[in-house]
Amino acid sequence: MSRQQSDGKPGLAALAGVRVLDIATFLAAPFAGTVLADFGAEVIKVEQPKVGDPLRRFGTPTEAGDSLVWLSEARNKKSVTLDLRTPRGAEIFRGLVRQSDVVLENFRPGTLEKWGLGFEALREVNPGLVMLRISAYGQTGPLRDKPGFARIAHAFAGLTALAGEKDGPPVVPGSTSLADYISGIWGALGVVLALRVKERTGRGQFIDIALYESVFRLLDELVPAYAKTGFVRERMGADTVNVAPHSHYRTASGQWVAIACTSDKMFERLAQAMGEPQLAGKAEFATSQARVARRDEVNGMVARWVGSLPMQEVLARCEAGEVPCGPIYDIADIFADAQYRARENLLEMVDPRAGPLVLPAAVPRLSETPAELRHAGPALGADTAEVLGDLLGLDADALRELAKSGVI
């Protein structure tokens, strides 16, 4: 584990000089802000006075009064309290927009417009503004006004229908927050693309992302296969639709491994590793199409071989045969793994409020302008005085008056 992701030099951050106003809540749009902040953008988290982002209370609580999710996913951000629903709060926000590059939001479509803070209104203040807008179903369409969370997005996008055993119910596809994180990644990409256009034209734009679209885009050939042949893919447990063996198998030591045979050459290597090279020469197993037709038989053979050996022996034989195979890890395994240590995927830090923490490292890994973990998620309003003072020139008296009236 590492206390810092890199030895990057100050001033060389990829997004140094970019100022982002994060007025979103929970995870999707805020995670886009986390990605941007990891790479040096100044991300100012704007939260409701007194209560803050509900993400602070979502997940495992800590001594800081904020959850571990907050400390991890609001890292590298500043926190400012501001009630956007009040005229004075909206006025102050417009002042911040005037001096910023990006706004991140995930209110229901039309909410910001009701407050006079929609994209067109803010573009009058700052023509170069880039606004990321993430919502359940996007800014258009008959469902635009419906609420939604990642679980609903997984279902609507077609992912949940694929998760689970063939004869069992659909299950959570790994994480209930997957669509949020994926949407945040798409959102960060959209922001960087829009900023690139702004460099050329001076003109901003908004990015419209629906939670379900972020997942739907990643379902490989699901769309063209249905359009071309009418094929409706169903749940297959650990298996994969077009190839076999490509599944999970239990070893003699009780641990599980994943084996991926995506080609005939790969199956030939697996047959060699299994000590049965003749299998690759048999017509009923020689091609992917043939193996898929005999999926249960093929899986049975591999399962018996894997089940006869301890996990380390399976891994060693597959490695020697250049067969893609890996252990199925839980989080305890990950913390003990040498690859994770070598890549510094687990970052150690000491937070002044929560004490020792270990957080996941940023992705991607840039050779010249790497990400850096500067601090964990901040206390509510920790940077209000600094930000409003530095950017808008508000003095202590003005800040006290704003606090008294509930604007901050």
Q: Note whether 359 and 72 are within 8 A (CB).
A: yes
Cβ neighbours of residue 329 closer than 8 Å, sequence gap 6 or more: 337
pLDDT at 95 over 70: yes
Query: What average pLDDT does the segment 192-208 reach?
Result: 98
User: How long is the chain?
Assistant: 408
Query: What average pLDDT does the segment 97-118 reach?
Result: 97
- Measure the CA–CA gap between 117 and 111, rounded to whole angstroms: 9
Q: Please provide residue 155's backbone torsions phi and psi, each rounded to the nearest 5 degrees.
A: -65, -50
pLDDT for position 7: 46
| Confidence band for 402, pLDDT divided at 50, 70 and 90 | very high
Domain boundary among 289, 313, 334: 334
For residue range 171-187, list pLDDT tens digits in order.
999 999 999 999 999 99
For residue range 234-283, list pLDDT tens digits in order.
999 999 999 999 999 999 999 999 999 999 999 999 999 999 999 999 99
pTM of the model: 0.94
Residue 3 included in any domain:
no
Task: Point out the catalytic residue in the list 53, 180, 239, 351.
Answer: 180
Query: Are 255 and 371 found together in one domain?
Result: no
CATH number where 174 lies: 3.40.50.10540
Task: Give the CA radius of gyration of the chain.
Answer: 25
* Strand partners of residue 260: 246
| Confidence band for 4, pLDDT divided at 50, 70 and 90 | very low
Residue with token string 């798409």: 186
pLDDT for position 69: 97
Neighbours of 260 (CB within 10 A): 16
pLDDT for position 2: 44
pLDDT for position 273: 97
Query: Are 114 and 148 found together in one domain?
Result: yes
| Confidence band for 342, pLDDT divided at 50, 70 and 90 | very high
In total, how many domains does the chain have? 2
pLDDT for position 11: 52
For residue range 344-374, list pLDDT tens digits in order.
999 999 999 999 999 999 999 999 999 999 9
- Measure the CA–CA gap between 44 and 77, rounded to whole angstroms: 6
Residue 180 annotated as catalytic: yes
Q: Please provide residue 20's backbone torsions phi and psi, each rounded to the nearest 5 degrees.
A: -125, 135
Query: What average pLDDT does the segment 382-397 reach?
Result: 97
pLDDT for position 12: 81
Query: Are 317 and 395 found together in one domain?
Result: no
Query: Are 273 and 210 found together in one domain?
Result: no
User: What type of residue sits at position 246?
Assistant: H
* b/e 170-198 (16+ beta carbons within 10 angstroms → b): eeebeeebbbbbbbbbbbbebbbebbeeb
Q: Burial level of 256, CB count in 10 A (0-12/13-18/19+)?
A: middle
Residue 240 included in any domain:
no
For residue range 22-66, list pLDDT tens digits in order.
999 999 999 999 999 999 999 999 999 999 999 999 999 999 999
Domain boundary among 288, 315, 334: 334
- Measure the CA–CA gap between 266 and 277, rounded to whole angstroms: 12
Residue 123 included in any domain:
yes
Share of the chain above pLDDT 90, in %: 97
pLDDT for position 272: 97
Query: What average pLDDT does the segment 307-313 reach?
Result: 98
CATH number where 281 lies: 3.30.1540.10
Instruction: Provide the residue range defining the domain that includes 167.
Output: 19-218+343-404
Domain boundary among 290, 317, 334: 334
